[in-house]
Amino acid sequence: MSKAKLEYIWLDGYKPTANLRSKTKIEDNFSGKLEDCPMWAFDGSSTRQAEGGSSDCLLKPVAIFPDPDRKNGYLVMTEVLNPDGTPHESNGRASIDDDDDDFWFGFEQEYFLWDPETNLPLGFPRDQTPQGQFYCSVGAKNAFGREIIEEHLDQCLDAGINVEGINSEVAAGQWEFQVFAKGAASAGDQIWVARYLLERIGEKYGLAINWHPKPLGDTDWNGSGMHANFSNGVLRTCGDKATYEKICEAFRPVVKEHIAVYGADNDLRLTGKHETQSIDQFSFGISDRGASIRIPIMTVEKGWKGWLEDRRPASNGDPYKIAARIIKTVKPVS
């Protein structure tokens, strides 16, 4: 009789930023299929999702991946339900209105490898070295923690996560990976599992993963974002500049609604500096990395058939909630 290790992963109820939680379930003769993952439960009173007198919350499996670091293991992404089977208030995945997977998302996840002993990014320069030389850098003077990043990339690919690229970022110890999926919920699932794998690898190296959008405070070092590239059938096929401008303009009246779900402390990052637009302003433009929404030059060169990039989401944002809000804005006007 074979025994499989199913790592159930979920998001807790901490505010303003949820944390990853997980626990292992052992199953006999498991098929490896999502439909054969049983519902499970956990103590919501320990995760700020329930009171002690009625503490059970349910875990509903929504995606499954082979676990690249465990023998006969699987990673099971779940969403949290109330005891009656309704979505828990912390469940951002349930708010996505994309049943037909018309919306495609590519998230660019930035983060810092963080040294708990120094409370600084890994390899952070002690001198006055300015940022810039670290972007897409090579060599021991510039790139720090590459062995961790390579291990993470391999594990993501082995798990079936659609990572489309990685690179070192503008600040020392800062890195990025990109995930693309046809379907908003799937994109969110894959980002969260990729984050989980990175956190677990960090444990092995004694490093924390810092998802904060501006961990170095009010300095001349870049913050971290999670740019959201998105399209639907209209954006992919319309071939019309006016349609693109109409969709971009739909974001202008709902700036506050978007910022509200784009990640905590994003005001420290969206200052109008370091390739950002100010948090209280809205703009869009072709190939403009200082705009709220960038129209990629590839979209224009393909005859206005492609995608848009919302550059405002923070690195600590919930991709489920970000995608849900973008869909809510775009769907009525496209």
Q: Judging by beta carbons within 10 Å of its beta carbon (0-12, 13-18, 19+), is residue 204 exposed, middle or buried?
A: exposed
Q: Residues 25-74: pLDDT tens digits?
A: 999 999 999 999 999 999 999 999 999 888 999 999 999 999 999 999 99
What is the residue-averaged pLDDT of the chain? 96
Sign of CA dihedral 198, 200, 201, 202: positive
What is the CATH code of the structural domain delimited by 3-91?
A: 3.10.20.70
Domain spans of the chain?
A: 3-91, 104-328
Residue 218: predicted pLDDT:
81
Does the pLDDT of residue 295 top 80, yes or no?
A: yes
CATH class for domain 104-328? alpha beta
**Residue 274 pLDDT level (bands cut at 50, 70, 90):** confident
Q: Model-level pTM?
A: 0.96
Q: What's the CA gap between 184 and 246, in Å, rounded?
A: 22
CB 293 within 8 Å of CB 310: yes
